[in-house]
Structure 1
């Protein structure tokens, strides 16, 4: 294929002399998991699974270009997942490629999207493998330099049987010569691009990985040392194990508390948890006076030990006059992600005699989850009266007490 190996002395993850691109394949449906959305977008330890994969890869190598091949119907889910990335990991991503009905089609779309970047090497990785270690990625790059087409593989620990349609054993291959293949698979970029183009033109389908495509095109392929921890999430049992592993390594839990009060003023509605609620009065404040979002934002800032809303959005600044309070909560949630953490849960207790919160509780939880980028199961909204005691009991305003739990590295 005309590929020449780069001398070993030139290799360096810190100062690479070659351009290494990354293609993450995320267009699959994940039907075997039986979930309500593709597995790569399921919340796992506080973030979509794909966010863990992209973060790990971003930390493993200074890639010259990164693209993700996604299903055409998943753009909203993909954009939502990107909100969970640290700024450095998000900045490394190029526009997503639109995948196809098969893995081969999706990979080819991703490779075509990388052509303009002109990489020397490309690593192709499954979005559902969230544990790619830097050592594994370095071995992949070196294998591509040396061989042009290679995949990480693990020796088989179980005896393998070849059977027919009835389950009758036809052969017992010696397991010493067998390997369970993983990703990232590593290639000279011109080699694998040409191989995928040829396979597509010839109508060849059903090749289950990219090394198989290279083999079909006549390129010698090799297996290098894989990583037993580099597991793929396929079943719900896999998913639960991955979540437990991610939670165990996620660092410390911080808890923050927020409290806010706003007095009533003339008006016909109040904003609570980002939801407009009809009422006989409005709430008085510099912004839209959403007492719940203010308390929740302060709870997150408290967990981070980063002050309060006033420190980030001074009331003396006229640009925040009448502002929608979703801006404050979204900023606080973004600060958690910027520090490499994630929100475990948010909980708000509204204290008022009126309006009645019950009819709006579901919409309020949904809106808070949307603003903070959380699964709704991690958001609690409650309400209580003060038994007609104090300013809330006299109907002079609304108070809110909020707590937030976050995990930080």
Structure 2
């Protein structure tokens, strides 16, 4: 059946939009769906329908497909990064519609390059899932917490039985009245790991329910915390906790950022630290979300997790002959396998970084991706702080016509 006939059947009520793939190949189903929704809205979806991406390639990443939205992608760099897994120069792919962003990050990359490169390290790997259980009161809560602490090995065995890669690395109980939360943390290797953590935790919850009076209310009790601003992620981390830093000679600061090291350090303190604290912010940085979001879109990460990924602290100190700068991202949730990383353009962006697919050892590719994103965020911080310290921010945007 062709797209026009399928669309007519939907309009007549014989089929629903989500049933189209059961009656045609993915491309025809998407074309029929475009016809239906465009006709009802009185508009055209011709551009949305023009894509080299095969509909069949999207089946695990989208439902009710009508086409694709193109986002311009640029590159910043190269930026030399000495990471925990590898040392290399990278072009950082950034997908964005914000004019001047890539130019800004590119300038920061040139500063880092002139300084000899950035160091970066993943300091923690723990994708979390935190179910909530119902208990009778604090006495039962104490008993459940005590049992969990005494049987972490049993819960780890149950959780890890569901995956060939995931490893339970942390389990912290929290009692709140007649609720008990268990925050499970997993090393998910090269996968972002949210699905892995959810499936593994479900198995562990069955053990808790069978061995204690606790009753599972929800597999996610929001103490995880996924896709929401949360202090626990800033403190304990989620996904990957990663730090990038650089020591920049004073002459490089003045030549490339057009400001003194003391001015940049003072600005960071007053803006990123004091200003953010006064605002009650969970992020103490200038524009980390910009780089995280653009890198996520380019490499097929879950875009909503920019909420946690931009949970970052930027520190700057003027030393005797250099400016020290760092950015610490507590909860950067990235992967190089699964999800959107399988789409052709996103896979190419990962290949550009040399981190496509599973790493050897497992987890090394996702670690390297996190370290490069952190270095890119550091470049963005340096560039924006320099623009503000030299009072060039508005003129830069004006010159670029943004």
Relative to the length of structure 1, the TM-score reads 0.21
Tell me the TM-score normalized by structure 2.
0.21
Flag the structure with higher helix content.
Answer: 2
The structure with the largest alpha-carbon Rg is 1
